[in-house]
Chain A
């Protein structure tokens, strides 16, 4: 085992506060980035991109967003689906209203609009906490979905009520619609998600992240040391919604290419993303990715095993998938309520001490 930190001395607080203070971790992350940016594009095909990598990345971003709100700031939200929809529909309006706009700006615009909507629905957090707040976010979910279904302006008055992505470029590369090269689409979403993950990591290790966690752990004490609870919660709502909005825009424009409010962004999505952060690990950036990977891969795995190996019908497989899903969630909650990220941490601890048991 080469996972040791002996011999690595920090000579200043800057080094001690680095994202990955341990050398092996830095190599590990670098390796993952090389695999992601160089390795995967060499072997990727349409199926793997559309079924695994692109959804994984888009959901990771959404999970990251929800984790900021729920995992770091302690505000339970069941409105993720609604906020994903805001991101998707605002990106659609931006793309069709301003055809010249670069996709990167479209995504940022969609994020900003979603952040505003998130702020609005975060207002009740001034007075209510816990499950009461969770129910308030459900109000956001249902209201937003209804709005996008009921007001034709949002889908440009087309007859189907669906939104369909037009071909758009980012920095001169076509990144949306089926005509876009799959590798370009993959690299585009990977780059966006990487940038946002770094931003998230920077926020959670600085003052603002500590304020969020302080509010989560004990809001009264936080208030008495000068952290304003309401402003802090609202900042978490805004940042979280920004992330989720960009994720929604990516799900619509880069992954699916078309969307319909209730179908694509229903309450189920809210729960899926919540599962991701719980299974991955509340209050962990890494956990958001692990959780998203698990939730994206699990149904594919169940389907492959049941349909391809055992020859069950697709309908039966679907039902088993739902049940398995529930069982796995309960199993995870019982075995490791702190999620996959904690499991990984424990493994690392063991490796540091290896071959000694303690």
Chain B
């Protein structure tokens, strides 16, 4: 298993730094069912980290643990040097962890613009009295953040749907808006849960391009779950493989592809 420890420069000239997040000995149970069992791995600054595994392997549960939606029974999470028993959603958000969801969790009744603006919530500090007045500080803050959001809208090429309620958008565009909302938080660590599920080839190419650009231009660390192996192998620097809630491999795409346990897991070889 190749665990990199020193800052490295990748072939495409990105710098991958120290460990940013460390999950250690995580065990998560629901009643009698163990969703994740004693799993440890790390995520380093600036890398694209993939989490793969067959259905029901505990990948989404892992993301839920990382941003504090589920609370593991055992283990610790270290983020930015601070070790915690478990993460809390609000702390994760303020510390710069953003997230997209497997089944698109947009605010259906709101427009694209408003959805992405909600991602700025933590950056907007003006209290309710200024907001009631609106004219003045609240308006300045609104415009400042709107400018930032417009750069994201330009980046994701969704200018034309700015004023449309997101509930009526096609799935591929919804996924893009959701990515925009996460980006609006200016995250340090971006978790993407199956960003390309249900997309056609063209949409997948677009999304891959966005992910690479986000990583390169903003230096955002990305952890993603994806089923399309081609995409995973192309994009990621390192891959974690989970199966039945346990970590079975961790390494570069090449290493993981050759790992016998991984091949068995995907071919469905019986466990002993």
Contacts and interface: CB of A to CB of B under 8 A. Distances in A.
Direct touch of chains A and B (CB < 8 A) = yes
Interface size of B as a range: 35 or more
Given A211-B121, A223-B90, A225-B98, A202 B133 contact: yes
B67 interface: yes
Interface in A225-250: 225-228, 235, 239
B15 interface: no
Interface in A64-95: none
B131 A213 contact: no
Interface stretch (B49-57, B136-144, B203-211, B251-259): B136-144
Contacts of B108: 217-218
Nearest to A238: B128
B99 interface: yes
A206 B138 contact: yes
22 contacts: A13-B146, A14-B139, A17-B146, A202-B138, A206-B134, A207-B124, A207-B131, A210-B114, A210-B118, A211-B121, A216-B109, A218-B105, A218-B106, A222-B107, A223-B89, A223-B93, A224-B68, A224-B69, A225-B119, A226-B90, A226-B121, A227-B118
B185 interface: yes
A235 B185 contact: no
Contact of B126 (A207, A211, A216, A226): A207
A208 B109 contact: no
Contacts of A283: 109
B122 interface: yes
Interface in B152-195: 181-182, 185
A134 interface: no
Interface in B104-132: 105-110, 114, 117-122, 124, 126, 128, 131-132
B121 A225 contact: yes
Given A199-B132, A222-B107, A225-B93, 13 more contacts: A13-B146, A17-B142, A202-B134, A208-B128, A210-B117, A217-B106, A217-B108, A220-B105, A223-B90, A224-B99, A225-B99, A226-B121, A227-B121
Contacts of B146: 13, 17
A203 B132 contact: yes
A14 B143 CA distance: 7
A203 B119 CA distance: 17
A58 interface: no
A276 B78 CA distance: 51
A214 interface: yes
A19 to B, nearest CB: 9
A328 interface: no
A12 B143 CA distance: 9
A217 B110 contact: yes
Interface in A182-230: 199, 202-203, 205-208, 210-211, 213-214, 216-218, 220-228
Interface of A: 12-14, 17, 199, 202-203, 205-208, 210-211, 213-214, 216-218, 220-228, 235, 239, 283
Contacts, number: 104
B143 A222 contact: no
Nearest to A217: B107
Contacts of A235: 128
Nearest to B134: A202
Contacts of B94: 226
Given A13-B147, A221-B105, A213 B114 contact: yes
Contacts of A214: 107, 110, 118, 121
Contacts of A223: 69, 89-90, 93
B92 interface: yes
Nearest to A19: B134
B118 A206 contact: no
Contacts of B119: 225
Nearest to A218: B105
Contacts of A208: 128, 131
A104 to B, nearest CB: 16
B110 A210 contact: yes
Contacts of A17: 139, 142-143, 146
Interface string B86-98: 0001101110001
A12 B124 CA distance: 20
Contacts of A217: 106-110
Given A199-B132, A202-B133, A226 B105 contact: no
Contacts of B121: 207, 210-211, 214, 225-227
B201 to A, nearest CB: 28
Contacts of B133: 202
A213 B132 contact: no
A290 to B, nearest CB: 19
A216 B107 CA distance: 8
A61 to B, nearest CB: 15
